[in-house]
Structure 1
Amino acid sequence: MITRRLLVLAGLPLLLALSGPVMARDITHIMGVTSVPDAPLRVVALTNEATEDLLALGITPVGAVRSANADPWFDHVAAALSETILVGEELAPNLEVILSLEPDLILGNKKRHEAIYGQLSAIAPTVYVENVTGQWRNNFAFYAETVGQADAAAAALDAYEGRLEAIKAELGDRLAETVSLVRFIAGQNYAYNNDSFSGSILRDIGFARPAAQDKPGLAEPITLERIPELDADHLLHFSYETGDGGATKEAETWMASPLWQSLEAVQSGHVHAVSDTVWATAGGIMAANLALDDIEAIFGLAPTR
């Protein structure tokens, strides 16, 4: 039997069709305890990370927020999301579109979506992780538990660990080489520390980090005169481009600087441009494996997948 209830979102009365009772489990998360279906079929993902993690678990979300700076999806998930409905931006999900999809589960993020938790919970069972940073493995395992795919997540993480071990073994003494990270963004550039997504990949492999980045935290603003802090055996850089070319101009300005040219990584030819999608914005297990692909290519290692 189908029942209906009246919801008010953003001052507008809306009708939501609810299916009959289903088996459910209580999931404890950062916002409390939520009863979710044992095997949700219509999942909406409100972060780039959750979207690709669902795909890695074999679940195509019925709705997802736009991939950062994409139209609408990152290249590595576009084919899989061909029938997924766009539900707005990660920082501004469209509640009416989400409601129209009649989801049975919504995956969100406290840092991004705390203010709309009540409204989302009125639409469907909603669970949040706390943040999207270097804790991506914990988030992946949590999403998997929530959608009833814990075994699939364990297998995927085991495969990732297997790749790490193979990469470490082949690198050997080269793990002592330092690897630096810098992200170019129009108007402000950042050096990335150990708790960023990109920093967590380097930490998982076991690379040494330059002193200025070998510390907790996500990232720190860095100005042109502080370029020497980036000095390392290898320098990875990525650019968050918003369409106006600002990040590209930032990179060009920095790379023309005598301070940049004096860096050891520059003089030894060990500066590597990598994808901002992979190393910063996607944030899930698919991106983590793509980052390992990059490391294998940069260091001339045998592919592990």
Structure 2
Amino acid sequence: MSNFKKLFTLLLTSITLIVLAACGNSSKETSDHKTEAAKTIKHAMGTADIKGTPKRVVVLTNEGTEAVLALGIKPVGAAKSYEGDPWYDHIKEQMGDAVVIGTESEISIEKIASLKPDLIIGTKMRQEKDYDKLKKIAPTVFSETLRGDFKSNFELYSRALNKEAEGKQLLKNYDDKVATTKKALGDQTKQQVSVVRFMTDKSRIYYTDSFSGVIFEQLGFPRVPEQEKFFKDNDKLGKLAVDLGKEAIPDMNGDVLFYFTFMPTGDDSALTTEKEWTADPLWKNLDVVKKGNVHKVDDAIWNTSGGILSANIVVDEIKEIFSK
């Protein structure tokens, strides 16, 4: 009986282990199935069904590229940076051998298809006419616009990439940085800020719906009240920016003035505009210029890139400038 009991115990133990192993495999299969289950993402052009975590991502906007990189994914293809060859200096190492698929305004459908993406990220503002072709290549998610606060677009991309938790943490980190910086700056955030951009043969005042404008607002800086007259919600650019002639230079005044110059790769003609305007007597007569409170900053970081990586850099630079 003793041998029989030993044999029975051994057999029972073996069966138990087999059952546990089977349950473990079943749980793993169930977990894998859940991971790979398609989720429906609502976006500017409708909905997209995305399976699991995309690995081969193509990005059609500069701010979208920053979002993907911040979430730890290197895109297989992306729209060329407005400045750089082909990428902005602050992302070129992370981009590695990513393929250029055109520019934000002119993408190559053929090149995108050749990369065999499992997700395409773009924007209705730039690529609406290409959407029907793109969604036949891979699930495609579009933001509505590239203006204003980058956060809503970032949240959309995080969901599409199955990185929602990571995305929330990155946004929390950014919000914490803004709060800490705002506290550190104290009363300096009461100074009225003016933001100007020099372009080929023209200049603009950038306002509250611009990338830098949103960040200044988050930090608590007021804008110059006299500039409000230039902006109407029903205008093409809304409260993003307004084109102005030299006669409006006096309206560019503020307690502090920041300016950047748009120089897309291979074209530095806007430098001529910058030199011409900053040499003008009206510019030199601005109180903010006389007091030395004018700061030239990088257009790529402060305007065209427009994503979470740049936003963090802008906050750091604002803190540094006001801490001098």
TM-score, with normalisation over the residues of structure 2?
0.84
1 CA distance for matches of 2:268 and 2:61?
Answer: 25
Residue 160 of structure 1 aligns to a residue whose secondary structure is helix
Offset of residue 100 of structure 1: 0.6
In the alignment, which residue of structure 1 is the partner of 2:258?
Answer: 236
Instruction: Report the 3-state secondary structure (helix = DSSP H, G, I; strand = E; otherwise coil) of the residue aligned with 1:195.
Output: coil
- Corresponding residue for residue 3 of structure 1: none
Contact 2:185–2:319 (CA<8 Å) still a contact in 1? no
Separation in 1, partners of 2:150, 2:260: 19
Q: Give the stretch that moved more between structures: 120-129 or 159-168.
A: 159-168
The reply on whether 1:27 has 2:41 as its aligned counterpart is yes
Aligned to 1:109: 123
Of the candidates 162, 186, 196, which is equivalent to residue 172 of structure 1?
A: 186
Q: 2:267 & 2:210 partners in 1: Cα distance? A: 25
Match for 2:160 among 139, 142, 146? 146
User: Which residue identity does 1:245 align to in structure 2?
Assistant: D
1:231 deviation in Å? 0.7
Alignment partner of 2:225: what SS? coil
Q: Which residue of 2 aligns with 1:260?
A: 283
Structure 2 stretches of 5 or more lacking a match?
A: 1-35, 232-237
Normalising by structure 1, we get a TM-score of: 0.89
Match of 2:247 among 212, 225, 228: 225
Partners of 1:245 and 1:90 lie apart in 2 by: 20
Larger Rg belongs to? 2
Match of 2:303? 280
Partner of 1:137: 151
Aligned partner of 2:52 in structure 1 is 38
Segments of structure 1 that go 5 or more residues without pairing to the other structure are 1-21
Q: Indicate the structure with greater helix content.
A: 2
Cα distance in 1 for residues equivalent to 2:202 and 2:147: 19
Q: Is the 8 A contact 2:189 2:221 kept in 1?
A: yes
- Give the fraction of aligned pairs with identical amino acids, expressed as a percent: 40
**269 and 30 in structure 1: CA distance in 2 versus 1, 3 angstrom threshold:** same
Residues 192 and 213, structure 1, Cα contact 8 Å, conserved in 2: no
Which SS does the other structure have where 1:72 is aligned? Answer: coil
Instruction: Work out the CA distance in 2 between the residues paired with 1:298 and 1:264.
Output: 18
Aligned residues: 280
Q: Secondary structure at the match of 1:184?
A: strand
1:220 counterpart SS class: strand
Aligned counterparts of 2:46 and 2:73: Cα–Cα separation in 1: 24
Counterparts of 2:51 and 2:262 in 1: how far apart (Å)?
37
TM-aligned CA deviation for residue 245 of structure 1: 2.8
| Aligned: 1:269 with 2:303 | no
Tell me the equivalent position of 1:251: 274
In the TM superposition, structure 1's runs of 4+ consecutive aligned residues that sit over 2 Å from their partners are 212-216, 242-245
Distance 2:39 2:157 in 1: 14
Equivalent position SS for 1:265: helix
Q: Which one has a larger percent strand, Structure 1 or Structure 2?
A: 1
Say whether 1:158 aligns with 2:172: yes
TM-superposed CA distance for 1:244, in Å, is 3.8
**In the aligned structure 2, how far is the partner of 1:133 from the partner of 1:38?**
29
- Read off the aligned partner of 1:220 and give its amino acid letter: V
Measure how far apart 1:198 and its partner are: 1.1
Q: Which residue, 46, 59, 84 being the options, matches 2:98?
A: 84
Alpha-carbon shift at residue 213 of structure 1 (Å): 4.0
Mapped partners of 2:226, 2:130: distance in 1: 37
Q: CA deviation at 1:135?
A: 2.6
2-side partners of 1:112 and 1:279: how far apart? 20
The alpha carbon displacement at 1:203 in A equals: 0.6
What is the match of residue 70 of structure 1?
Answer: 84
CA displacement at 1:26 relative to structure 2: 0.6
Contact 1:194–1:213 at 8 Å: present in 2 too? Answer: no
Measured after TM superposition, the shift of residue 23 of structure 1 is 2.5
